[in-house]
Amino acid sequence: MAKLLAMILAGGAGTRLEPLTRERAKPTVPFGGRYRIIDFVLSNFANSGVYRMKVLTQYKSDSLNNHLSRTWRMTAFLGHYVEAVPAQMRTGLDWYKGSADAIYQNLNIITDEEPDYIFVFGADHVYRMDVREMLSFHVAKKAACTVAAIPVPIEQGREFGIIDVGPDGQMRQFLEKPKNPPPMPGNPKMCLASMGNYLFSTGVLVQEVVRDAADEASAHDFGKSIISELYKHAPVYVYDFAQNRVAGQEEKERGYWRDVGNIDVYYQSNMDLVEVDPIFNLYNDRWPIYTQPNNLPPAKFVFADEPNHRVGRAMDSLVSEGCIISGSGVKRSVLSPKVRVNSYSEVEDCILFENVTIGRRCRIRRAIIDKNVEIPPGMTIGYDLEEDRRRFHVTSGGVVVIPKGMKVT
């Protein structure tokens, strides 16, 4: 069997998710109630049988380091691990200058592990993927590098890094946000956008990051600096993610991938989960999403028979363990562990992080409330955005965001 290594890039600052990334790394932003964003890529590798994972960290990495050490404990007896690798400045006094430089600064890992193939994946996307299929494609094509890509409507292509592909799947050109994206083979209405996930034959990866490190004019980025040059002198192939099949996955979910890079996309991706028949199904037990187990009691809903409609209820919502819905209503919302919503309050289209308390008689809609926030009784949020902007962060899409630990008055 080939020896495999996954190197997961988790060092970005995540500024477009501010204020959710004000005190944490982007990959550890909560998602879907009880998960962290990084759990999705780690679960993909674990479910695919790739058990050696190095997570390259940098900005505000304490929460990420804690999550990995407390949650992702693999079987060391069999040589399995998920290990955080902080920026070590092994090549000088600089932090990572880009994604390619992050690999270059950690070439010692490759030397120590001696893998045959290396996956270089991002840590901040939500999707399911059996990476064994990408590996089989890579080996069959005798590729130097394989880039995972997803079909997008051609009119949206100017927002992505687009790949021009020949009929056999070999890359012919890499275009960064082109005005006129080339169509994918066989479908003139779609083009192939890079997912930022790569598979390299080891010698090629080492050679290319060393070459790039010597170029002072380089952006030291995989898309702009490595892939855009590699395809000119080596066989680079493109793996169509829409063809990937995952155990237990319904047909409608195939090709589901979300780059939750800004708050409005992040918010909508969470709201997708509370649909009656969601595209992305968290309940697929043949390809589970792993995360930290909690020793918390079950969610509780009270009261039942109050004459003045003081009834705890949640509809079209995800309610995590340890939550108490006390005489209040929750609609189309995602509640992380240990959330309490008190009597006569109404919460609608919201994402509430861990240990949020909503006081009595509050009305809150289209809001993201970060961890350890207590909303005082009687407060209204999400109904008057001009007023909300004076107190909180409001996105261009009209989502109100209350930062972690904020004292709300």
pLDDT digits (tens, 9 = 90+) for 119-149: 999 999 999 999 999 999 999 999 999 999 9
Q: Which DSSP letter does residue 353 get?
A: -
Domain residue limits, the chain? 4-272, 300-402
Taking residues 62-80, what's their average pLDDT? 93
Please report the pLDDT score of residue 303 as a whole number.
87
CATH T-level assignment (fold) for domain 4-272: Spore Coat Polysaccharide Biosynthesis Protein SpsA; Chain A (3.90.550)
Cα torsion 65, 69, 71, 73: sign: positive
Residues 6+ apart with CB under 8 A from 151: 184, 187, 190, 191, 192, 193, 240, 242, 255
Peptide bond between residue 303 and the one before it cis (omega within 30 degrees of 0): yes
List b or e across 35-54, with b for residues whose CB sees 16 or more CB atoms inside 10 angstroms: bbbbbbbbbbbbbbebbbbb
Please report the pLDDT score of residue 310 as a whole number.
87
CA distance 57 to 133: 27
Q: How far is CA 133 from the centre of its chain?
A: 21
**308: pLDDT strictly greater than 80:** no
Question: Does residue 393 contact residue 375 with C-beta atoms inside 8 Å?
Answer: no
Please report the pLDDT score of residue 87 as a whole number.
83
Query: pLDDT averaged over the chain?
Result: 94
CA distance 36 to 67: 9
Taking residues 379-395, what's their average pLDDT? 97
In 14-125, which ranges are continuous DSSP H helix?
Answer: 38-47, 62-71, 99-104, 107-113
Structure confidence at residue 92 as a pLDDT band (50, 70, 90)? low
CB atoms within 10 A of CB 319: 23
Closest C-alpha among 129, 89, 137 to residue 6: 129
Residues belonging to the binding site are: 96, 161, 176-177, 194
**309: pLDDT strictly greater than 90:** no
What number of CA atoms fall less than 13 Å from residue 377's CA on the CB side? Answer: 5
Phi-psi region of 174 (alpha: psi -120 to 50; beta: other; left: phi over 0): beta
Helices (H) and strands (E) in the chain, counts: 9, 29
Please report the pLDDT score of residue 307 as a whole number.
67
Residues belonging to the binding site for alpha-D-glucose 1-phosphate are: 96, 161, 176-177, 194
Taking residues 344-351, what's their average pLDDT? 97
Evaluate whether 4-272 and 300-402 have a shared fold: no
CA distance 124 to 11: 10
pTM score > 0.85 for this model?
yes
CB atoms within 10 A of CB 342: 19
- Which CATH code of 2.160.10.10, 1.10.3720.10, 1.25.40.20, 3.40.640.10 fits the domain covering 300-402? 2.160.10.10
CA angle 369, 44, 20 (to 5 degrees): 20
pLDDT digits (tens, 9 = 90+) for 161-213: 999 999 999 999 999 889 999 999 989 999 999 999 999 999 999 999 999 99
CA distance 65 to 309: 45
Q: Are strands 145-153 and 190-201 parallel, antiparallel or unpaired?
A: antiparallel
Please report the pLDDT score of residue 6 as a whole number.
98
